[in-house]
Structure 1
Amino acid sequence: MELGDAIFGRTSVRYFSEREVPEEQVRALIEAAVRAPTASGLENWLFVVFKSEEARERIYTLIAKGMEAYYRAVNLPEEKIEKLRERIYREGMFRAPVYIAVFIDRRVRFLQGKEFDELEFIWSVESAAMAIQNLMLKAVELGLGTVYIGVTNFPGIEEEVRELAGLDGNYYLVGVIPVGYPRGEPKPRKRKKAFEEVSKFI
């Protein structure tokens, strides 16, 4: 597979088959992830793989809770929230055989001093985001589907994900990535904005 095929073939997959993802493929995803650029060479990321039935059920419930919080935050009517619940609990949206939570360790940094706290944090999140993209592109090559979940960062939910991962408050959750074989044929969507709208040549 050419890199361009993976880039343009990647799309957010929200429905997965029950087929198990082999451990060697999960390892391949993380090995691809850690080849991403990392600010100051710190590699201060941590990938926590949730595969047990109990852990996956807990993560699934937290994602559903986060999605509902997101819908309420944008003031969607109750009937739309009810449709969301139906897609999640009846249709199994976001239910995956593997979840990978990506954290950064905020104690690992290059520049010392409070004046650099925000900058170091941004650099660390950017590094983790690039790692997530590597992971997602590798997933396309392996025939796997992924989707980025950011709603697990709502207050109260992030703490529960950290607790499930056995981590303390020094770790920050960048996102949770459900991983599995797509239930249907993935169909990449076109971008809403044209090239000219998102680029500027000087």
Structure 2
Amino acid sequence: MELEEVIRRRTSVRYFSEKPVAEEDIKELIKSAIRAPTASGLENWIFVVFRSKEAREKLYELIAEGMEVYYRAVKLPEEKIAKLRKRIYKEGMFRAPVYIAVFIDKRVRFLPGKEFDEVEFIWSVESASMAIQNLMLKAVELGLGTVYVGVTNFEGIEERVRELAGLDENYYLVGVIPVGYPKNEPKPKKRKKSVEDVTRFI
């Protein structure tokens, strides 16, 4: 599969089949992820794979909780939140055979001094984000679907994801990626803005 096709076919998949994902494929995803650029060559990322039924169920509950916080934050009416609950708990939105949580170790850095704390943190998040993109593109090649979940970063939820991963406060959660075989044929959406809309030549 050509890179252009992989990029074109990548889309957010929120409903997955129960078909398990092979451990070898999970390793291939992470192998692709760690080929991403990493600021100062630090490679201060860690990928926690939630595969056991118990761990996945606990993480799923936290994703559902985060989605509800998100919906309330944007002031959606209660009937819309009720529909969200139905999509999650009855239809299985975001329920996947594998979740990969991507963290950075905030202690691993290159520049000394508190004045560089913020930029070091930003660089680390950017590095992990590029790793996530690599992972998602590799998933397309393997016939797998993925979606980026950021609602697990809300206060009170991120801490519990860390605990579930067996990590302490030195680690920061960049995102959770559900992984699995799509339940339905993925249909990539067109972007709202064109290249001309978002590009400026100087």
Question: TM-score surpassing 0.5?
Answer: yes
Q: Which residue of 1 aligns with 2:178?
A: 178
Q: Secondary structure at the match of 1:120?
A: helix
State how many pairs are aligned: 202
Q: Secondary structure at the match of 1:57?
A: helix
One-letter amino acid matched to 2:133: Q
> 5+ unaligned residues in a row in structure 2: which ranges?
none
Q: Which residue of 1 aligns with 2:44?
A: 44
Q: Which residue of 1 aligns with 2:35?
A: 35
Matches within 5 A, 1:76-91: 76-91=76-91
Per-residue CA deviation, residues 3-23 of structure 1 (Å, 9 max, x unaligned), is 111101000000000000000
Q: Which residue of 1 aligns with 2:127?
A: 127
Q: Which residue of 2 aligns with 1:151?
A: 151
Q: Which runs of 4+ in 1 moved over 2 A?
A: none
Q: Does 1:169 align with 2:164?
A: no
1:197: Cα distance to partner? Answer: 1.0
Distance in 2 (CA, whole Å) between partners of 1:184 and 1:52 is 24
One-letter amino acid matched to 1:88: I
Q: Which residue of 2 aligns with 1:195?
A: 195
Q: Secondary structure at the match of 1:179?
A: strand
Q: Which residue of 1 aligns with 2:18?
A: 18
Per-residue CA deviation, residues 107-129 of structure 1 (Å, 9 max, x unaligned), is 00000110000000000000000
Distance in 2 (CA, whole Å) between partners of 1:185 and 1:68 is 27
> 5+ unaligned residues in a row in structure 1: which ranges?
none
1:130: Cα distance to partner? Answer: 0.1
Per-residue CA deviation, residues 54-94 of structure 1 (Å, 9 max, x unaligned), is 00000100000000000000000000000000000000000
Q: Which residue of 2 aligns with 1:108?
A: 108
1:134: Cα distance to partner? Answer: 0.1
What is the percent sequence identity of the aligned residues? 79
1:195: Cα distance to partner? Answer: 1.3
Please tell me the root mean square deviation across aligned C-alpha atoms, in Å.
0.3
One-letter amino acid matched to 1:125: V
Distance in 2 (CA, whole Å) between partners of 1:6 and 1:195 is 19
Q: Does 1:63 align with 2:58?
A: no
